[in-house]
Structure 1
Amino acid sequence: MSKVTLKICFYFLIFSTLNIFPQANPRPRLVVILSVDQLSADLVGRYQPQWSWGFKTLFKEGVVFSQAYQSHASTETAPGHATILSGRYPSHTGIVSNTWFGPGFKRIDSTEDDNASVLLAPAGRKGASNSWFSGTSLGDWLIRQDPHSRVVAIAGKDRSSIFMAGSSTSHVYWFEPFIGFTTSIAYRLDLPPWLLRANEQWLKSLEKQSIVWSASKTNPSATNPQSYLLDGDYFGERIIKTGLPKTIKTINDPVDSSFFKRFRATPFYDELILQFAQKVIEEEKLGQGSRLDVLAIGLSATDYIGHNFGTGGPEMQDHLLKLDQALGSFIGYLKSIDSNVVIVLTADHGAPDFAERLNAQGLKAERDSYTSWLKELNALAQIQLALSPTDTSGIFKVTGNPPSELYLNQVALGIDTDPSLRAKLMPKLLAMVKTAPHVAEAFSREEIEQAAVPPKSDPRTLSMSQRFHMSYDPRRSGDIFIVFKPYTTWGMGGSQHGSPMNYDRHVPLVFWGPWKHQIITEGVEIVDLAPTLASELGIKPLQVLDGKILNLQPKIKITR
């Protein structure tokens, strides 16, 4: 036996006796995905130094991808959530926007399903499911591999929970005014008794309760009120009033629709979502068996607060301070359930602040009414195309705000009977759009179809047409795609998203668990989340994904 062999045997004997060896990290029993609606990377950078508990734990201990992007242009809730656990772009999931047009310009909501009525909902509430979604998600892959695993999604919005849940679970819940958390018959025919009781208790507690949103002790500037008169020609005066405290409900106020509208735009909404998420874990015993369970949580208050009060004021700052505390408590609870719990934090999209406050800070920002803008554009088209003045149907149509995708009225243009007219008219139509107010760039659908994205492209440097390409589905997308000038706000609200700009696309991505803390500055995509998590958990995807597997360095555990 050689001297080298003797040395190896000697050290092996010593280490075996002392039991000092790197140990494999135990597989978690619970994986939690947190999506914070409208949490931009800008908000993280601005307020992270003030966080002391939940957010701080994730960002100081997790694997932080500081340059993570939603690659697509349609930075809205539905397409963003549909990418998170599917690992695929909107061009492949089919969820190209929150809404789109069907035949005859029928406006279709991304979750609507006439055959899936929402449990306990009043008449007139559309049914909801993921019937428009194409493909599979992490939860489907897990349940195919292990039918005993549990997958649950709960959120403040139906589109958040529905598009993170996949198609293989009956536990898909979202908040509805006057009900609490519910689901549709696409997932189950009745609510669990525990959820009915929890909803009833919460609604009853509101009856004789006053709710006041007061500033955190660490946010004294929130008490300085300010008012912003919105630019533009609107019916009546429209002012955004900022500052705390805000009275959400007095003891004698009714629990009516206006209350729920106010309540959703407060920190209390996310606290309620986390409260019910904890209830789900307790009642369904998630993470308490030998199998792997997955819980997807959509925290929606950030989006409502941004739309009502903007992202750059005291409301957002205070909300994130309170969410930091709520998350700290929730993470502590998760660790008590499973000491090896894995948590992933991300967002569906970001958003800039509203135009008037940005202007006050020296940025060039604009606000307009998209209905007025569209009316003027259609009037111009009627003149330039010499259409009959009696034809008021309009050449260009949009599903909503912002008007980034224009659908052509093919009947009015004669394209329905002579498709060759499309190629002849498109240069003239594009020229009209490019001269419209606030427009920076415009592309035809033919240009978008040709804007292929090479593999392994950096999401930070994609061209605008490539970003639209990742949002493009020929069955549902528009005919002309518009990039508006930076910081253009539409309508009468606060912050707004939906553009292909980086401030709408740049979002957090943090993996917290058995991995070494790192801050990684390479450009990555949110579609990378699902394949990475699947790889780390030993789950095999059921289809080809757009995302790639990110490199997470495991912690080395030393036992003695």
Structure 2
Amino acid sequence: MFKRVAAALLLATALAPVMPVMAQSPAPTAATPTTVPASAPKLIVAISVDQFSADLFSEYRQYYTGGLKRLTSEGAVFPRGYQSHAATETCPGHSTILTGSRPSRTGIIANTWFDLDTKREDKAVYCAEDESQPGTNSNDYVASPLHLKVPTLGGRMKIANPATRVVSVAGKDRAVIMMGGPTADQSWWLTPKGYVSYKGIATPPLVARVNEQLAARLAQPNPGFELPPQCAAKDFAVNIGAGQTVGNGRFARDAGDFKKFRASPEQDALTLVLAAGAIESMGLGKQAQTDIISIGLSATDYVGHTYGTEGTESCIQVDRLDTELGAFFDKLDKDGIDYVVVLTADHGGHDLPERHQENAMPMEARVDAALTPKALTAAIGAKTGLTGKKLIWGDGPAGDLYFDKGLTKAERAKVEAETLTLLRAHPQVQTVFTKAEIAAAPAPSGPPESWSLLQEARASFDPQRSGDLLLLLKPRVMSIPDGTKGYVATHGSPWDTDRRVPILFWRKGMRHFEQPLGVETVDILPTLAALIHLPVPKDQIDGRCLDLIAGAGDSCAQ
């Protein structure tokens, strides 16, 4: 029998005696609906649930009893939010949430892009690294906010009032950096050694205590979680090949298995422990100014990649996320903090094709390995006679492709022509845009649900960092060729499965409403800025303020 690891247990053991037990409590009852208070909240809590698609949010909505229940039944609900750009990856998505800007303005066009002019041997550039550091590469790097071109909300708040405290915690460094920005007072992300920050930053007692408890938890095996009733129908194994299956797991893990800890509800619970402890130990929301904490909950993404989005694993994860958020909000309520919450996601996600094929979608497929940059180089080399040369650089069988800088002008023209011909004839390719085509397109506007693929591509385009070609696969083509050699599923496409995310706002006493029309994650910054009366020039961002007052009144005009 698998045991259910309760929120109260983890929260009690993780920080005692640094902070009190965050016991589970019944779902909060709705406050008497009023309007959004005119006074500025003392604390902004910005939560990104990595890979929490609008589909996943809606699928389990009827079962929420904890923190997600509070947000959906008492707050302003935008179930059709959009990470409106084409490059629906973790780093670009997080860069939009608290900057009010699309990747074309933030400069964060992908998790990894290529700089063929760099002197280091590794030409790949990780979005949250400083590639100028000697001896580093895109997998072994020094974390840095160097590549983020615009300020975050916390950065703007600090400019307006230097007393503002800005804290960012997450399961991933790119979530911390893109939401907290370069001027955050505290930035902590999870590694196998515990939560770490930038090189040279001393570890405060709170973080040291959390890391001790992480080590203690990892030293013990986890027999797993009980299966909630709503997950019973999903309890069957799916064969992904090579004798491997997913779909009916409970997150059981052996002692010391950090990889399984990371891809489980245990990770988010610990990140929320650190966030709650930071709020209490730093007194966030307790002074005259408004403070901000951004929280990147990364487990849903690791679960989606490792097991897919439609098995017992994902179902349990969402159930535990709801419970842990409920305990976290209860702790803030108990401390009497006047806070506002926004919860969204950096991107959506797509389930593995093998389960889709079993569930009424036989057309689902994995991408042809012939579309990988290595295979393209071989094929184009054979067609052009340029064999033995590196012709095409890229991070996978979709997204940005770069032509090698060592090609002559004539060679490059031949390579580009042959590559376009090959790709456009491939049955799994939706379209291929050239750099010139994207650069010539105007910046997108209007409802994000009606954008063309070219408009989505333009929203992700940076003239210095984007590739020479942008390869977009057809819908229902999983961009992982083989699910048995690592992750089974992923995101990154320009389709709504990956673009659509929920956007939820909550503050005590506000009147609940739901707006099903499309909005963008870049609308979050101006919406929050209006609540704290922080002017943000419209020409510096891409988003617009969303009115959070149901009925008469306008929170954007306060």
Alignment TM class, shorter chain as reference: 0.7 to 0.9
Q: Which residue, 434, 453, 461 being the options, matches 2:450?
A: 461
| Residue 184 (structure 1) shift | 0.7
2:498 pairs with 492, 497, 504, which one? 504
CA contact (8 A) 1:430 1:443 kept: no
5 Å matches for 1:252-263? 253=255, 255=256, 259-263=257-261
SS at match of 1:275: helix
Q: 2:101 aligns with which of 72, 84, 88?
A: 88
C-alpha distance in 1 between matches for 2:371 and 2:460: 26
1:383 aligns with 2:382: yes
3-state DSSP of counterpart to 1:108: strand
Change in Cα spacing, 1:47 to 1:116, as seen in structure 2 (3 Å) is farther
Describe the shift of the 1:24–1:369 C-alpha distance in structure 2 as closer, same or farther (beyond 3 A).
closer
SS at match of 2:253: strand
Evaluate the alpha carbon distance shift between residue 335 and residue 452 of structure 1 in structure 2; reply closer, same or farther with a 3 A threshold: same
Gaps of 5+ in 1: 1-20, 231-236
Is 1:139 equivalent to 2:168 in the alignment?
no
Which whole-Å CA distance do the structure 1 matches of 2:165 and 2:38 have between them? 22
The alignment of Structure 1 onto Structure 2 pairs a total of residues equal to: 505
1:196 is aligned, of 208, 217, 232, to: 208
Matched, 1:308 2:306: yes
**Cross-structure match for 1:8:** none
Give unmatched runs, 5+ long, in structure 2.
1-33, 554-558
Alignment of 1:360-439 (within 5 A): 360-363=358-361, 364-368=363-367, 370=369, 373-387=372-386, 391-400=387-396, 402-412=397-407, 414-415=408-409, 426-439=416-429
> 1:266, 1:158 → 2: CA distance?
18
CA distance in 2, matches of 1:155, 1:128: 14
Q: 1:422 to 1:515 in 2, by over 3 A?
A: farther
How big is the shift at 1:125?
Answer: 4.1
Deviations 1:512-533, CA, capped at 9 Å, x for gaps: 1153211112221111110111
Root-mean-square deviation (CA, aligned residues, Å) is 2.6
1:336, distance to aligned residue in structure 2 (A): 2.2
Instruction: Name 1:176's counterpart in structure 2.
Output: 191
1:215-240 per-position Cα deviation (integer Å, ceiling 9, x unaligned): 3343461783413134xxxxxx2623
Conserved? CA contact 1:42–1:503, under 8 Å? yes
CA 1:213–1:223 in structure 2 vs 1: closer, same or farther (change >3 Å)? farther
Q: Given the superposition, is the C-alpha separation of residues 183 and 240 from structure 1 closer, same or farther in structure 2, using an over 3 Å criterion?
A: same
Alpha carbons of structure 1 residues 61 and 22: separation in structure 2 relative to 1, 3 Å:
closer
367-376 or 105-114: bigger deviation:
367-376
Contact 1:216 1:321 in 2 (8 A): no
| SS class of match (2:110) | coil
1:490-509 CA distances to partner (integer Å, 9 max, x unpaired)?
Answer: 14222210111111000000
Alpha-carbon distance in structure 2 between the residues aligned to 1:50 and 1:93: 37
Shift of 1:267: 0.8
| Counterpart contact for 2:250–2:316, Cα < 8 Å | no
For residues 103 and 519 of structure 1, do their structure 2 counterparts lie closer, same or farther at Cα, with a shift above 3 Å needed? same
Residue 213 of structure 1 corresponds to which residue in structure 2?
A: 224
Q: Is residue 515 of structure 1 aligned with residue 517 of structure 2?
A: no
- Secondary structure of the 2:426 match is coil
* CA positional deviation for 1:23: 10
1:2-21 equivalence runs, <5 A: none
Superposed, 1:285-364 pairs within 5 Å as: 285-363=283-361, 364=363
Question: Does structure 1 conserve the Cα–Cα contact (< 8 Å) formed by 2:265 and 2:317?
Answer: yes
Partner SS for 1:393: coil
Q: Which residue of 2 aligns with 1:17?
A: none
Q: Distance in 2 between matches of 1:519 and 1:97?
A: 31
How big is each residue's C-alpha offset from its partner over 1:123-150, in whole Å with a ceiling of 9 and x where there is no partner? Answer: x842101101102110011111111111
How far the C-alpha of 1:410 sits from its partner, in A, is 3.7
Larger Rg: 1
Could you tell me the TM-score, scaled by structure 2's length? 0.85
Residues 378-415 of structure 1: CA distance to partner in whole angstroms, max 9, x if unpaired? 3331233233xxx3234222124x52221112423x13
1:149 equivalent in alignment to 2:164: yes
Question: Aligned partners of 1:220, 1:398: CA distance in 2, in Å?
Answer: 38
**Cα distance in 1 for residues equivalent to 2:206 and 2:368:** 46
1:30 to 38, 43, 51: 43
Structure 1 distance, partners of 2:455, 2:247, is: 38
Cα deviations by residue, 1:87-113 (Å, 9 ceiling, x for unpaired):
111111111000011125701101112
Contact 1:426 1:444 (C-alpha < 8 Å) held by counterparts: no
Q: How far did 1:84 drift? A: 0.4
Say whether residues 1:50 and 2:63 are aligned partners.
yes
Could you tell me whether the CA contact under 8 Å between 1:22 and 1:556 is conserved in 2?
Answer: no
Alpha-carbon separation, structure 2, partners of 1:437 and 1:556: 52
Is residue 163 from structure 1 mapped to residue 183 from structure 2 by the alignment?
A: no
Q: Residue 9 of structure 1 corresponds to which residue in structure 2?
A: none
2:431/2:472 contact within 8 Å kept: yes
Q: Distance in 2 between matches of 1:24 and 1:380?
A: 62
